[in-house]
Amino acid sequence: MDWFGHASISFTASPSPLTLLKKDGTTTDLLKVCEKATPPCQLNPLLFNGHVQTMWTAVKEHGPPVYYRRKIFDADHSTYHGTFAVDFVTKPHEAHDETLPSRTAYFAEDDFARIGSDDSKPMLFVLHGLSGGSHEIYLRRAIWPLVTSGAWEICVVNARGCANSEITSGVFFNARATWDLRQTVKWARKTFPNRPLFGVGFSLGANILTNYVGEEGANCVFKAAISVGNPFNLELSNKALQRTFLGKQVYQRVMGSNLKKLVEGHKDSVIKYTKLNLERIENLTYLYEFDREVQTVSWGYPTENAYYRDASSVDALLAIKTPFFAIAAEDDPIAVQEAIPYEEFKQNPYTVLCTTSLGGHLSWFEIGGGRWHAHPICNFLNAMVSEIDLQAIKPLADGKASDSEFATHFDGVRRKLLFLKD
């Protein structure tokens, strides 16, 4: 039992976690690095369970004053075309565009043209949760120590239509939509050739990041990635939410309402670029109804459950070949514990799972208003940069084929959604 907000912490990892060479010539392993990066989890005792922790996020706070400059990228994917917005953390500035979130302004074209650098500062790519954006408090709380250190460069890849970005094609976000992140990472690799690159994702963004790292496999250029509050198995998480009164009438309803507002805010673009039925969307209530009306129509899935199965990152976890640290709360009412793939984490030496007994969904409120998840995130990233020889991390061999009668191989990132064009 957890007393006075003190949450217990557990780790799940391979019996033989990835060996890492330290800069001083000694060795450690991924599990040890994650354990050392994770401090005790002392949360606000008045927020005594996952529901109260999660609902407390409705009590708005100002959060850390992170400033951004926005760049609109033209997508280079022939199917997932259109534009998407990337917000880059900058020094405080006076500029502000009324059409953008607070402390955010567009890059001047000349300034962005000169953004390239040969410096070796670590760079972090951030993915937000469902219908969120770079302005989210849980996100700003997590990156604030890195921002104030001055040692990191950070950017947030916003989902299509989120954070006041425009919809300029026929599709919204998708839980397996790794293309915008992939394009941004490729651009960064070319623009900042000496920077070590890292990724962190929250909730739905964690699912996308996990899919991306799995899809890239041994070719992933990230030196490490962090997943926070990942629902992993979207079909299972969705069914778990529908089973309970709070799950359906609070969480499913709130998320559905937020997405309805997202569509309403882009009504002209939806009419211009899509075949979505706005009247039916206006009359829906729950998240799964939104996915039925939007994701199935936009992407050609027969049902929302087919979408959930295709977009889930649980199997992609097995294909990851870069150090991967996942953080989850066992009392998370949205990214539910039963969807956490404990056995898959045990199978992949590149992955480590940290679970806390308390914390809710992207909450982890401490006494005084801080968020605990910022500590292991920043500690892990700083440890990887300062202590580990990143160039020495090499993909491990996959091992022998099956010893059974049939030589088989499980491909964790094989997808059922096929593109008719490249």
Cα–Cα distance measured from residue 311 to residue 410, given in angstroms and rounded to the nearest whole number: 17
Query: Which ranges of 312-403 would DSSP assign to H, the alpha helix?
Result: 342-347, 374-387
Cα–Cα distance measured from residue 417 to residue 306, given in angstroms and rounded to the nearest whole number: 10
Based on the residue annotation, tell me whether 51 is a catalytic residue of this protein.
Answer: no
Out of 332, 363, 373, 375, the active site residue is 332
Measured in degrees and rounded to the nearest 5, phi and psi for residue 114 equal -105, 15
Please, is 356 exposed, middle or buried when counting C-beta atoms within 10 Å of its C-beta (0-12, 13-18, 19+)? buried
Cα–Cα distance measured from residue 118 to residue 14, given in angstroms and rounded to the nearest whole number: 37
Q: What is residue 64's DSSP assignment?
A: -
Out of 131, 169, 203, 269, the active site residue is 203
Based on the residue annotation, tell me whether 361 is a catalytic residue of this protein.
Answer: yes
Measured in degrees and rounded to the nearest 5, phi and psi for residue 140 equal -65, -35
Residues making up the chain, counted from first to last: 422
- Across 266-414, the runs of DSSP E, i.e. the strands, are 324-329, 351-356
Beta carbons within 8 Å of 264's beta carbon, 6+ residues apart: 282
Q: Are 232 and 314 in contact (CB under 8 A)?
A: yes
Out of 128, 361, 373, 375, the active site residue is 361
Q: Which residues are catalytic?
A: 203, 332, 361
